[in-house]
Amino acid sequence: MKLVSRSEWGAARPTGSYIPVSSTKGVKIHYEGSAVPGALASDHSRCAGHVRDIQASHMANRDEGWIDIAYSFVVCPHGYVHEGRGLHHKNGANGNGPLNAGHYAVCAMVGTSGITSPTDDMLNGLVDAIEYCRSEGGAGSEVRGHRDGYATDCPGDDLYAWIQQGAPRPSGSGAAPAPVPPSGPSAAPPFPGRILRLAEPMMRGSDVRTAQARLIERTWNVGPDGADGWYGEHTRSTVVAFQQDSTANGWPLDDDGEIGPLTWAALWDRPVTR
């Protein structure tokens, strides 16, 4: 899964608090329902800016009163899954309060002109987002279109036909491709599918231990307990230092102390000179 965190795409802060949801019936698929620039299809560097544009448009909509981008996730033509409101938060896109709480809202960058049909990479990204909502967000098995239960043309005929087919991955595509770092191919193991960060309760697990071990391998000190599998303050501060050093050596990383897809891939890039 090619997950792009809010900090990685440059999200503005929400203007209010999210309403928590512990689980949903499943996922509803959306499209933008307006023009989507065709240039996005050939230039992934534009996609983060387009998500920022969607967020700004939503937050400026006084009729809806949205506190943030309305979607849970937004998937670009290249298969990257941009975190919107994310997991365990009520979205604002499905039509009304009960519908918003009932399903996560995943939007594809497809519109009425420009990009009008999903790419294979986008379909893989949509499936990645659906699976992520199920495995980490308590989503049930339903995959529906926005028009199911609400009077709208969304998500358009092409995406709705795909949903009616069972929302499959493109034939022969297998799993979605792994992130590709800016400097070239990486030997990184697959990204674990969740952002590794300092949290309460403290995050732990084998993926945290793998990242810690790689930092130690690259001569970074993660604390007195070494690769213990706990994402504590020592690990967070080490990740910040690694991100700052990596940025100085050509990797465009946010120094937020969180291990998202780009920081994960950077850990396995060529050695960084310190």
Q: Where are the domains of the chain?
A: 2-164, 180-274
Prior bond to 201 cis, omega within 30? yes
Please give the pLDDT value at position 172: 54
**CATH of region 180-274, choose from 3.40.462.10, 3.40.50.920, 1.10.101.10, 3.40.640.10:** 1.10.101.10
Please give the pLDDT value at position 130: 96
- In whole angstroms, what is the distance from residue 177 CA to residue 72 CA? 22
Please give the pLDDT value at position 179: 38
- In whole angstroms, what is the distance from residue 147 CA to residue 235 CA? 45
Identity of the amino acid at 183? S
Q: What is the pLDDT of residues 158-198, one digit of tens each?
A: 999 999 999 999 975 544 333 333 333 345 688 887 899 99
Architecture of domain 2-164 in this structure: 3-Layer(aba) Sandwich (3.40)
Of the candidates 130, 140, 107, the residue with the CA atom closest to the CA atom of residue 21: 140
DSSP state, residue 272: P
Please give the pLDDT value at position 261: 82
Residues of the chain with pLDDT below 50 are 174-186, 272-274
Please give the pLDDT value at position 187: 56
Please give the pLDDT value at position 271: 55
Q: Other CB atoms closer than 10 Å to residue 252's CB: what's the count?
A: 11
